[in-house]
C-alpha cells in the first residue's frame, strides 16, 4: 500500500494538472470579464462625455428652430380656419342674425330689403370679418416665420419643412383675406334683391 504504481502517479499528476489548468482558465476568464467591465465603463464614460459635448455644442449653436416650426404650423392652421370658418365667426354671425331679427320685430315698416340686410347681410359680413381676421393673423405669422432667419444666427439655415409650411400658411392667409374682402364688400355672393 505504500507503493504507488506509475499509472496511479500519472493519474494523480494528471488530475492535479487538470485542476491547475482549470484554475488558470477560470482566472483568465475572470481577467477577461474584468477587462470587459472596464472597457464598458470607459465606453459609457466616453458616451456621457460625447452627449455633454453635443448638448454644449447645441447651446453654442443657438436655437433649434422649434419655435419657427410651431409658428409655421400655426400660420397654416389659421389660414385653413380663415377659409373654412371658425367658432368665433359662427357665433358672431348668429349674434348679428339675432340682432337683425329683433330690429325687424320692432321696426314699424316692413321694408324687405332692410329686413334682408339686417337679418342676413350683417351676419354674412360678421362671418367675413372674422375670416379676414384669421387670414390676416395667418399671413403675419407666416411672414414672420419666413423672415426670422434674417434676424437669427447667421449661417444657420432654416429647415426646408418649416419654409414649406410657412409658405403654405402665407398662401392660405392671402386667399382667405381676399375671400373675406370679397364677401364683406358683397362682390362675392351678395344678398338677393328684394324686388
Q: Which residue has the higher pLDDT, 115 or 149?
A: 149
Where helices occur in 62-159 by DSSP H, the ranges are: 66-84, 87-106, 112-116, 122-151
Checking phi first, is residue 157 left (phi over 0); if not, alpha (psi -120 to 50) or beta?
beta
Q: pTM, whole model, 2 decimals? A: 0.62
Q: pLDDT, tens digit, for every residue of 74-118?
A: 999 999 999 998 888 888 888 888 887 777 676 666 677 777 777
Interior CA angle at 20 toward 14 and 26, to 5°? Answer: 135
Q: Which residue has the higher pLDDT, 54 or 118?
A: 118
Q: Which are the contacts of 157, defined by CB distance < 8 A and separation ≥ 6?
A: 149
In the chain, % of residues over pLDDT 90: 29
| Residue-level pLDDT at 56 | 62
Backbone angles phi, psi at 128, to 5 degrees: -65, -40
Least confident segment among 9-23, 123-137, 160-174? 9-23
Amino acid at each position: 500500500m505504500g507503493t504507488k504504481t506509475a499509472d496511479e502517479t500519472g493519474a494523480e499528476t494528471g488530475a492535479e494538472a487538470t485542476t491547475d489548468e482549470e484554475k488558470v482558465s477560470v482566472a483568465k476568464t475572470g481577467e477577461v470579464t474584468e477587462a470587459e467591465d472596464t472597457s464598458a465603463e470607459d465606453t459609457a464614460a466616453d458616451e456621457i462625455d460625447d452627449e455633454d459635448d453635443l448638448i454644449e455644442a447645441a447651446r453654442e449653436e443657438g436655437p433649434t428652430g422649434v419655435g419657427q416650426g410651431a409658428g409655421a404650423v400655426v400660420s397654416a392652421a389659421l389660414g385653413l380656419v380663415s377659409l373654412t370658418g371658425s367658432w368665433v365667426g359662427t357665433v358672431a354671425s348668429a349674434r348679428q342674425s339675432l340682432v337683425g331679427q329683433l330690429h325687424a320685430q320692432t321696426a314699424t315698416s316692413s321694408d324687405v330689403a332692410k329686413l334682408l340686410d339686417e337679418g342676413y347681410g350683417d351676419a354674412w359680413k360678421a362671418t367675413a370679418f372674422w375670416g379676414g381676421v384669421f387670414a390676416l393673423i395667418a399671413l403675419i405669422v407666416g411672414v414672420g416665420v419666413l423672415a426670422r432667419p434674417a434676424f437669427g444666427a447667421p449661417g444657420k439655415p432654416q429647415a426646408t419643412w418649416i419654409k414649406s409650411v410657412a409658405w403654405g400658411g402665407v398662401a392660405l392667409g392671402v386667399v382667405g383675406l381676399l375671400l373675406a374682402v370679397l364677401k364683406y364688400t358683397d362682390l362675392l355672393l351678395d344678398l338677393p334683391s328684394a324686388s
